[in-house]
Amino acid sequence: MNRKNITALPLAALLATALAACELNTDKVKEAVSQKVEEKLTDYASQAIDRLAQEAGLDPQHETDTKAEALAETPDGVEIPAPLTDRKEQILSRTAYTTSYNSDTRLPNWVAWQLTAEHTSGPHKRGGIDFAEDEDVPEPRATDWDYYRSGYDRGHLCPSADNKWSEAAQRESFLFTNICPQNHSLNAGDWNEMEQQCRRWAKELGSIYIVSGPILYKGKHKTIGKNKVVVPEAFFKVVLCTEGKPKAIGFIYKNQPGNRPKGDYVNSVDEVERITGIDFFPALPDDVEDKVEAEADINNWL
């Protein structure tokens, strides 16, 4: 082998390596360009569809609405709020509802349940059922004696009338982890009317999701009984329906007598979240959650 051939071997190897590198880089460039073209075509197609929809007189929000209406299969547990980090919380799962219990206040932070049309009636009525301590939570805890001569009703959050479909559910609705001290006039009046309205909505719509609980404003709170059960200053209820086009609405009731139209208590779910510090319906897709939680129109439900 002469000297010229010896020199040519490494040069050939170097050239082959360079060509391979060029081919690799070329492939990467082709791939990157292809992805960019695909992205641009997708964007163009989306914009074109929007323009055609607008020209046809369709709702510009069709994409969001379509996605919302596509919630045919609502996630399990959609009624459960996000975990609380600013207060005590013990989650208790019952036959009909889930409750977040606060051992500091001896109250539920919230109670959440799904109410279907089938669950709005049943043979299991409240007659003969006593209110009961919930032995699944630590002492001190609320007892019947705390309410005796307190001037307050033992107010249900998940109502007894929502639990007639099951004997076990009916009995569990009388556990004190589902109860708050409530003004009698409110309990028997406007609060009861809203409970009845929710059952009507469930019958009409097929299914709704409800979260209810006490509101404790800043400052010192009144308590009742030996176990110092806190008396809420107000109560909230938020309602979600995912049948068809999703919608939600919130209500806030002061813990005092009142005889007012339901519309006077209406708030958006966003506003109830701001007041309570609770994040409702976090399992919903973000765009759907943002849309329905900003609404505060009782006419959408009538």
pTM metric for this prediction = 0.77
Contact 181, 199 (CB under 8 A): no
Number of H helices, E strands in the chain: 8, 11
- Whether the per-residue pLDDT at 260 is higher than 50: the answer is yes
What span, in angstroms and rounded, lies between the C-alpha atoms of 94 and 173?
9
Q: Any idea what DSSP says for residue 262?
A: G
The two tokens of residue 131 are: 């209110």
Active site residues: 156
Task: For residue 288, give the amino acid letter.
Answer: V
State the Cα–Cα distance between residues 167 and 170, nearest whole angstrom: 5
- Separation of alpha carbons 85 and 96, rounded Å: 25
Q: Write the pLDDT tens digit of every residue in 117-174.
A: 999 999 999 988 999 999 999 999 999 999 999 999 999 999 999 999 999 999 999 9
Three-class DSSP category at 218: coil
Strands (E), the chain: 90-93, 98-102, 107-116, 153-156, 179-182, 207-215, 223-224, 229-230, 234-241, 247-254, 266-267
Mean pLDDT score of the chain, rounded to an integer? 84
| pLDDT digits 0-9 by tens, 203-244 | 999 999 999 999 999 999 999 999 999 999 999 999 999 999
Place of tokens 């690799």: 24
Q: Per-residue confidence at 75, pLDDT binned at 50, 70, 90?
A: confident
CA distance 175 to 164: 15
